[in-house]
C-alpha cells in the first residue's frame, strides 16, 4: 500500500465533532422474532411478522410451511418488493400481461425482485419450511389486495414490532416484548 492509503487508517475515519442538533433520534433497536407478534394465514401454515416500518421502507419476515401458498395478489404500481430466501425453497409466479406466467424458484441466499403492480403468488416447495425477508416501500394508499376479495386487514392494526416516523422524529409503535435498545 502507498503512504497515501496508510493515511486513511481507521483512526482517521473517526467522526469529528458532529453536530447532532438537526439529526433525527439516533437510537438503534433490536427486534426479537421469538417475542414478536405475527399475522397468520391459512391456519398455522403462513406467518408474517411485520418487523419494521419507517417513512422510507417496510420490512416483513415470513414463514411458510411445506406446500403452503400465498394466493394470487397484486400490489400498487409503486410497491416494488425485494424478497430474500433465508431457508427452504419457494416458487414465485408472476402473471404477465400477455397471459403467460414467469416462474422463478429460489433457495437460501437468493433474492427475487417483484416490480410494483405485479400480480403474483408464492409457494413453499420441498419438505422444508420456507423463510423469507421482504423489503418494500411503505403503503401510501390502500392495498389492491383489498379490491380483489382477499381477507381485509388494516395495516395500522398489524402487530408491527417497530414503527418509526422519521419525518416527525417520532417512535409510533414499539412492541415492548419484542424490541429492545
Q: Above pLDDT 90, what percent of the chain?
A: 49
List the one residue out of 133, 154, 143, 156 whose CA is nearest residue 73: 143
Q: What is the pLDDT of residue 168?
A: 82
d(CA 147, CA 7): 59
Q: What is the pLDDT of residue 146?
A: 47
Residue 76 has pLDDT above 90, yes or no: no
| 126 pLDDT tier (thresholds 50, 70, 90) | very high
| 149 pLDDT tier (thresholds 50, 70, 90) | very low
| 173 pLDDT tier (thresholds 50, 70, 90) | confident
Q: What is the pLDDT of residue 138?
A: 79
Pull the grid cell for residue 165. Answer: 416516523
| Cut 0.85: pTM above it | no
Q: What is the pLDDT of residue 156?
A: 62
| 68 pLDDT tier (thresholds 50, 70, 90) | very high
Range 76-99 average pLDDT: 93
- Mean pLDDT, the chain, whole residue set: 83
Q: Is 96 left (phi over 0), alpha (psi -120 to 50) or beta?
A: beta
Helix (H) or strand (E) holding 3, with range, is: helix 3-6
Q: Is 149 left (phi over 0), alpha (psi -120 to 50) or beta?
A: left
d(CA 72, CA 16): 52
Q: Tell me the torsion sign for CA atoms 61, 63, 112, 101.
A: negative
| 111 pLDDT tier (thresholds 50, 70, 90) | very high
Range 145-167 average pLDDT: 66
Could you tell me how far CA 14 lies from the centroid of its own chain? 32
Which residue, chain included where needed, has cell 437468493? 110
In DSSP terms, 47 is beta-bridged to 40, 63
Q: What is the pLDDT of residue 13?
A: 60
Q: Could you tell me the domains of the chain?
A: 34-176 (2.60.120.10)
Amino acid at each position: 500500500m502507498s503512504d497515501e492509503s496508510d493515511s486513511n487508517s481507521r483512526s482517521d475515519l473517526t467522526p469529528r465533532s458532529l453536530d447532532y442538533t438537526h439529526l433525527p433520534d439516533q437510537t438503534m433497536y433490536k427486534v426479537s422474532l421469538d417475542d414478536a407478534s405475527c399475522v397468520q394465514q391459512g391456519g398455522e401454515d403462513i406467518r408474517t411478522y411485520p418487523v419494521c416500518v419507517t417513512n422510507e421502507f417496510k420490512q416483513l419476515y415470513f414463514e411458510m410451511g411445506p406446500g403452503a401458498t400465498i394466493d394470487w395478489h397484486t400490489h400498487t404500481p409503486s410497491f416494488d418488493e425485494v424478497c430474500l430466501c433465508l431457508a427452504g425453497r419457494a416458487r414465485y409466479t408472476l402473471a404477465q400481461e400477455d397471459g403467460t406466467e414467469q416462474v422463478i424458484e429460489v433457495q437460501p441466499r437468493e433474492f427475487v425482485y417483484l416490480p410494483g403492480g405485479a400480480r403474483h403468488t408464492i409457494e413453499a416447495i420441498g419438505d422444508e419450511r420456507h423463510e423469507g425477508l421482504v423489503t418494500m416501500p411503505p403503503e401510501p394508499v390502500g392495498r389492491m389486495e383489498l379490491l380483489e376479495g382477499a381477507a381485509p386487514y388494516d395495516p395500522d392494526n398489524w402487530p408491527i414490532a417497530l414503527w418509526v416516523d422519521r419525518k416527525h422524529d417520532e417512535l409510533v409503535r414499539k412492541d415492548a416484548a419484542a424490541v429492545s435498545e
